[in-house]
Amino acid sequence: MSGKTPTTPEAIRAVTEARLTLGPRGGALATRESLAFALDHARARAAVLAELDLPALTATLDRLGLPHRVATSAAGDREGFIRRPDLGRRLPETEAAALAGAGPCDVALVLGDGLSATAVALNGAAFVAALAGRLEAAGLTVSPVILARQARVALGDGIARALGAGTVVMALGERPGLSAADSLGAYITHAPAAATPDSARNCISNIRAGGTPVPEAAEQAARLILAMRASGLSGVALSRALAAGALAGPTEPHGPR
């Protein structure tokens, strides 16, 4: 494009999947754009309302040799999850007790539905498998993969405490936009507590074929986890320490690429 700013819908799509324009203004919306918008809106709604496909996920994890457990937040069902975000952050005592025998471990691996079970179906198992391999190669113990239903990010804190894990990775479907309904996010927290603020988490976003590839995301996550465990920091504090070059010690996972 010779350094020029793209102006036509076709030129913009070659640079980004984001819907930045619907074409020329002044007339009726083109039928193609109208139908594409309706399709993307339907995909986003379907992703939010979808449930985890537990049989498919467990079969995939079995093939990958990854043990797994299932946990459900206090939201209980999809309607409760959507209407009461606070319940999606809470792990019932009965669920915590059921997980207690799966620990302790260094890192808890949680795969939750979040706001897009579609993202989990497409990218979840591959991400946790790639990350588990890197962490184990670095000498860390990992939990069984916890398949978390009706899960918000903070549900991982309760799961980590139930497992006796020092660090938790909550990978879950991100809120769908009108350009992507299959984006996985990985939220990583060190020393999670009952009221951990979001500022204490590090996030790797847009894990999918059209965004951050799974191997790259797993490598980033492994580096963050090693830095967290070496420094005792996570979230904003870790980001500042890394930016200042203040951390020393092992931050290389040395795992499979």
> Would residue 153 count as lying in a domain?
yes
pLDDT at position 32, please? 73
pLDDT digits (tens, 9 = 90+) for 97-152: 999 888 799 999 999 999 888 889 999 999 999 999 999 999 999 999 999 999 99
Percentage of the chain with pLDDT > 70? 79
- Give the Cα separation of 239 and 149 in Å (integer): 30
H or E element at residue 222: helix 214-231
Nearest CA to 204 out of 165, 227, 170 is that of: 170
pLDDT digits (tens, 9 = 90+) for 159-208: 999 999 999 999 999 877 666 778 899 999 999 998 899 999 999 999 99
> Would residue 10 count as lying in a domain?
no
> Would residue 90 count as lying in a domain?
yes
Q: Which stretch, 10-19, 205-214, 246-255, has highest mean pLDDT? A: 205-214
Q: Is 153 annotated as a binding residue?
A: yes
List Cα–Cα distances, 225 to 109, 140, 159, in angstroms: 12, 10, 17
> Would residue 32 count as lying in a domain?
no
> Would residue 130 count as lying in a domain?
yes
> Would residue 201 count as lying in a domain?
yes
pLDDT at position 30, please? 72
Q: Which domain holds residue 84?
A: 54-242
> Would residue 18 count as lying in a domain?
no
pLDDT at 245 over 60: yes
Overall average pLDDT of the 5-10 stretch: 63
At 77, which CATH number? 3.40.50.11240
H or E element at residue 41: helix 31-49
Place of tokens 């979230």: 235
- Give the Cα separation of 92 and 14 in Å (integer): 47
Residues pairing with 107 in the sheet: 142, 167
Which of the pair, 243 or 56, is modelled with greater confidence?
56
Overall average pLDDT of the 21-49 stretch: 68
> Would residue 39 count as lying in a domain?
no
Domains held by the chain: number? 1
Which segments of 50-184 does DSSP mark as H helices, in order?
54-63, 78-83, 85-88, 93-99, 117-119, 125-137, 155-163
* Residue 65 pLDDT grade (very low, low, confident, very high; cuts 50, 70, 90): very high
- Give the Cα separation of 230 and 32 in Å (integer): 53
Q: Is 107 annotated as a binding residue?
A: no
> How would you list the strands of the sheet with 165-173, edge to edge?
68-72, 145-149, 105-114, 165-173, 184-190, 201-207
- Give the Cα separation of 153 and 170 in Å (integer): 6
Q: Is 174 annotated as a binding residue?
A: yes
pLDDT at position 172, please? 94
pLDDT at position 225, please? 96
